[in-house]
Structure 1
Amino acid sequence: MLINYLLIVLYIVAIGCSLYIIHRHKAYFHERFRKGTISIFMLAMLFFLAAYTFKMVIVLLFRAAAVFGFGSPRLAEWLLYGWTLAQMGTTAGLIALAWLTFTGKYDQFMVLRRMDKKIEEDYDNAST
């Protein structure tokens, strides 16, 4: 049916858009991780988009297996596990984004560098 092919195209476009957004924000995340602090809102967005992209790949495989006839009960089982994992990720990402939106705390940052320094100090103290 034509709708199956339309869905496959729409899934591919959704995956492409999501990967594009992640790619365009790569410099931001690289810089923030290097500096040791990151916006919690942006981190939640990254988590959501990564889970959403994985979810779209799973649904694309579901649809492609049905359309092109390469499905099997074993593949369907693994895709269902993947779908469940991806749904948990997207739900967790949405909950985090909704909470940040509800509280209006878009400017919260997570400090990562302190943990790194503590680990380095512990390592230096243990080796002397």
Structure 2
Amino acid sequence: MGGIDILLLIAYGISFVCALLLIAALFLYFRKRFRARVVSLFMLAAFFFLGAYTVKMAVAFWIRFSTATGGDAVYAALKSQAWTVAQTGTTLGLVILTVLMYTRRQDLFLSFPAVKREEEKEDADA
């Protein structure tokens, strides 16, 4: 392994850990927001993007480590397909975030009235 490979592994590792920490923080945010029955569409898109980005970093680790240890044609095809899916998800997340930013729709919220009605029925039954 050369110096660039080591630098890339360090960069991928830092990116992967930061993305996991952000996903954990967003998970707590969404848990709180789903209980309130209102979720920001922008934050939901950011969560989707971070999820795809985290998968992409995991695939990048897999590609780098398997390149260092060798591999066969089946693994090479699988790695290529996994990278394609991860890159497509990341790109889709970025497109959604960009559209929301440039249309100035960062403040769109989704509300869940059906969830509210079910809880009201449970409260009425109790």
1:82 paired with 2:113, answer no
**8 Å Cα contact 1:4-1:67 kept in structure 2:** no
Residue in structure 1 matched with residue 4 of structure 2 by the alignment: 3
Unaligned segments of structure 2, at least 5 residues: 119-126
Q: What is the letter of the counterpart of residue 78 of structure 2? A: W
Distance in 1, Cα, partners of 2:60 & 2:92 = 19
Render the CA deviation track for 1:93-118: whole Å, top value 9, x for unaligned.
1111001110111110012x224467
**8 Å Cα contact 2:40-2:107 kept in structure 1:** yes
| Structure 1 position 66, deviation (Å) | 0.8
| Structure 1 position 14, deviation (Å) | 0.7
* TM-score of the superposed pair, with normalisation by structure 2: 0.85
SS state at 2:95 partner = helix
1:68 paired with 2:69, answer yes
* TM-score of the superposed pair, with normalisation by structure 1: 0.84
- Paired-residue identity, %: 38
**1:1-128 to 2 correspondences below 5 Å:** 1-69=2-70, 71-111=71-111, 113-116=112-115
Distance in 2, Cα, partners of 1:59 & 1:115 = 41
| Structure 1 position 22, deviation (Å) | 1.1
Runs (4+) of structure 1 exceeding 6 A deviation are: none
The root-mean-square deviation of aligned C-alpha atoms, in Å, is 1.9
Aligned pairs, number: 119
Distance in 2, Cα, partners of 1:85 & 1:115 = 33
